[in-house]
Amino acid sequence: MQLQNDLLLRAAKGEKIERTPVWLMRQAGRILPEYRAVRESVSGFIELAQTPELASEVTIQPVDILGVDAAIIFSDILVIPEAMGLPYEMVEKRGPFFPNTVRSESDLKKLRVADGANDLSYVIKAIEITKKNLAGRVPLIGFAGAPWTIFAYMVEGSGSKTFSKAREMLYTQPKFSHQLLQMITDSTINYLKAQVKAGADLVQIFDSWAGILGPKQYAEFSYPYISQICDAISEVPKTVFAKGAFFAREEMGKLNCETIGLDWNMGIAESRKLIGTNKTLQGNLDPAALYGNPDQVRQATIDMMDQFKGTRHIANLGHGVYPDINPAMVKVFIETVKNY
């Protein structure tokens, strides 16, 4: 099916575009009352993510309500550990929790490499339904967590400010760490390939906890695995978003992907210099800027757009939109980008 709006894909590939495309990380979520209404109809986040029809409904909401240039499938990065044999729970106000963790060879033996299509059939089904219901209006983004970020949760057992148990593992058990990271990587490649086959037009890799590693650890335990994934997915454009990995921007420029996401701490001119001109940059307005009034939001958006002007760019925030931000201000951001 021919896409009516393919701005995102053209921008990712560095082709000619009439205007900068715009979408938001976490756009399908808590900022929208329409999302909350769907969420309240089920027992919680995980049931919503595992019900393809509902996951599809909340994926499309921001396209209808906010007017973004892309939909991103409603799911979670932690579906991969679950598919590998390590289930998790979503604890209200506290986030993800793993009743079991992976700390030893015997834990590793209980895991398997996920095949993607069957182990995560509910996500694949949600993509198929969404593609049909979008009817070519905008591209659909698929995604997965980067292996290091997934590893951090599987070893730690929950979110953490330091992920000290996961980081300890890199120092004390490097061989074990590489084994687990490779299993996660193989599972993620299978999963993203299944997403593409189901209709994802672009995929994004989220390395949410990149920034808690030092440059040396990142170069050994994260970057090579992201690189493997980028090399394995050849059918669609790829975006890599490594939050906090300001020290790895030059290396990011060498990845086999089209787009590099910037968080709001990464200077735009400096990033362009480090990453080079042959990649599209995505981002990077501070989500907190959207707490302002319409004039403030407009000005902050224009300031950002001015810095990206004349270069390959996809407009976005420097991280996910915060749940208590007024959707009206999100609309101001989107409209300002579109009218720029």
pTM recorded for the entire structure: 0.98
Tokens of 61: 């909401």
Task: Report residue 61's pLDDT band, with 50, 70 and 90 as the boundaries.
Answer: very high
Known catalytic membership, residue 10: no
According to DSSP, the residues that pair with 284 across neighbouring strands are 316
pLDDT of residue 1: 79
Q: Tell me which of 26, 103, 272, 312 is the catalytic residue.
A: 26
Tens digit of each residue's pLDDT (9 = 90 or more) over 145-157:
999 999 999 999 9
Task: Report residue 199's pLDDT band, with 50, 70 and 90 as the boundaries.
Answer: very high
Known catalytic membership, residue 306: no
Side-chain-side CA neighbours of 144 within 13 Å: the count stands at 35
Q: Tell me which of 30, 36, 137, 298 is the catalytic residue.
A: 30
Known catalytic membership, residue 39: yes
DSSP tag of 6? -
What mean pLDDT, rounded, does the chain reach? 98
According to DSSP, the residues that pair with 207 across neighbouring strands are 242
Share of the chain above pLDDT 90, in %: 99
Q: What is the mean pLDDT of residues 268-273?
A: 98
Query: SS3 breakdown of the chain: % helix, strand, coil, rounded to 5?
Result: 50, 10, 40
For residue 52, give every residue at least 6 positions away whose Cβ sits within 8 Å of its Cβ, in sequence order, or none. 122, 123, 125, 126, 128, 129
Please measure the distance between the N-terminal and C-terminal CA atoms of the chain and give it in whole angstroms. Answer: 29
pLDDT of residue 11: 98
* Alpha-carbon span 113 to 146, nearest angstrom: 15
Q: Tell me which of 6, 10, 119, 153 is the catalytic residue.
A: 153
pLDDT of residue 119: 97
pLDDT of residue 92: 83
Tokens of 22: 């715009």
Tokens of 273: 């210099």
Q: Tell me which of 76, 119, 186, 207 is the catalytic residue.
A: 76
Residues in the chain: 340
**CATH code of the domain made up of 7-243:** 3.20.20.210
Say if strands 140-145 and 238-242 run parallel, antiparallel, or are unpaired.
unpaired
Does residue 270 have a pLDDT over 90?
A: yes
Does residue 83 have a pLDDT over 90?
A: yes
Does residue 164 have a pLDDT over 90?
A: yes
Query: To 10 degrees, the CA torsion angle through 150, 155, 160, 162?
Result: -100
Known catalytic membership, residue 186: no
Tokens of 140: 């659909």
Does residue 55 have a pLDDT over 90?
A: yes
Q: Tell me which of 6, 35, 39, 263 is the catalytic residue.
A: 39
CA distances from 181 to 177, 188, 238 (A): 6, 10, 20
Does residue 93 have a pLDDT over 90?
A: no
Question: Structural domain boundaries of the chain?
Answer: 7-243
* Alpha-carbon span 250 to 160, nearest angstrom: 28
DSSP tag of 194? H
Does residue 7 have a pLDDT over 90?
A: yes
Known catalytic membership, residue 30: yes
Contact 60, 45 (CB under 8 A): no
